[in-house]
Structure 1
Amino acid sequence: MGRGAGYLVKALHGAAFVALALAAARPVFAQEPIAVPSGVAVQWFETLRDTQGPNGLTIRFRFIAPDVAGPDYDPDQAGADLEALCNGYVIPRLPEMGPQPAEIVLDLADREVPFGEPNEDAVQFFEAYSVQDGACVWEFY
């Protein structure tokens, strides 16, 4: 193997390592569904920790549940589902050290929607919470 070929193999090996590292950093949807009162299958999509809301540091947890767009899902149930997600999924995942969020915003959608981009076809529910005594407290959003 010539000198140039050796460099090419090393470059390809490094590129494969970077591709694997990036793939590992992306959310994996093979996780177990998160239980909510309505019974729809909910999965975590992403967490955004670097956003500033009107009340200070805001952490956003985004979830996907395709069935929220279906005819059997009662939109009035979304509030209870989001509160269950906040108390059962979000609270245990908040940082124990460092700056604490002034606000937690949850998004429950029927599909992936890039943050901040409107999508008129998507069904999305949003709620905001503060944390008091280790529990989520609903805030006007």
Structure 2
Amino acid sequence: MGAAVPVPSGQAVTLQDVIWNVPGPDGMTTRFRFVAPAIAAGVDFDTAEADMIHLCEAFAVPRLTEFGPQSEQVVISLSDRALPFGDSAPDAVQFFESYRIEDGKCLWEMF
């Protein structure tokens, strides 16, 4: 896993990985997967949601060109533990948000 990534809530968040070679429902999608253990111990969804938009705009958007053609969609996920991509883990706490990118901003999109 990567280094700590600062977020507004101050919770400990680290980058697990970036998935860019699996298409999403709306075309090219880049997934930034983060581990945030505190979401299993009291960080609520509203707090995590603010952290995810921050991760999208401050972390993901500046790195999108590293992964090839411009993505149509960015997915930010937080998990209380590192999990293999695509594996089911019913006991894990996970939050996901999807965004479209416009003028360097992340605009929330409902899954």
TM-score of the two chains, using structure 1 as the length reference: 0.74
SS at match of 1:62: strand
Does residue 116 in structure 1 map to residue 86 in structure 2? yes
Counterpart residue identity of residue 84, structure 1: H
In the TM superposition, residue 137 of structure 1 has moved relative to its aligned partner by: 0.9
| Between 95-104 and 62-71, the greater mean CA deviation after superposition | 95-104
CA distance in 2, matches of 1:102, 1:45: 22
Does residue 54 in structure 1 map to residue 25 in structure 2? yes
Alpha carbons of structure 1 residues 67 and 99: separation in structure 2 relative to 1, 3 Å: same
CA distance in 1, matches of 2:67, 2:76: 21
CA distance in 2, matches of 1:57, 1:86: 16
- Relative to its length, the structure with more helix (as a share) is 1
In the TM superposition, residue 75 of structure 1 has moved relative to its aligned partner by: 2.2
SS at match of 1:50: coil
CA distance in 1, matches of 2:80, 2:71: 26
Deviation per CA, 1:41-76: give whole Å up to 9, x if none: 1000000010111110111000001111103x1222
In the TM superposition, residue 111 of structure 1 has moved relative to its aligned partner by: 0.3
Structure 1 unaligned residues grouped into runs of 5+: 1-27
CA distance in 1, matches of 2:31, 2:76: 6
Residue in structure 2 matched with residue 140 of structure 1 by the alignment: 110
In the TM superposition, residue 98 of structure 1 has moved relative to its aligned partner by: 4.7
Structure 1 residue corresponding to 2:45, chosen from 75, 80, 90? 75
1:78-89 alignment runs, 5 A limit: 78-89=48-59
Does residue 34 in structure 1 map to residue 5 in structure 2? yes
Q: When the two structures are aligned, how many residues end up with a matched partner?
A: 111
CA distance in 2, matches of 1:118, 1:70: 20
CA distance in 2, matches of 1:49, 1:97: 7
Report the RMSD for the aligned CA atoms in angstroms.
1.5
Structure 2 residue corresponding to 1:105, chosen from 75, 82, 87? 75
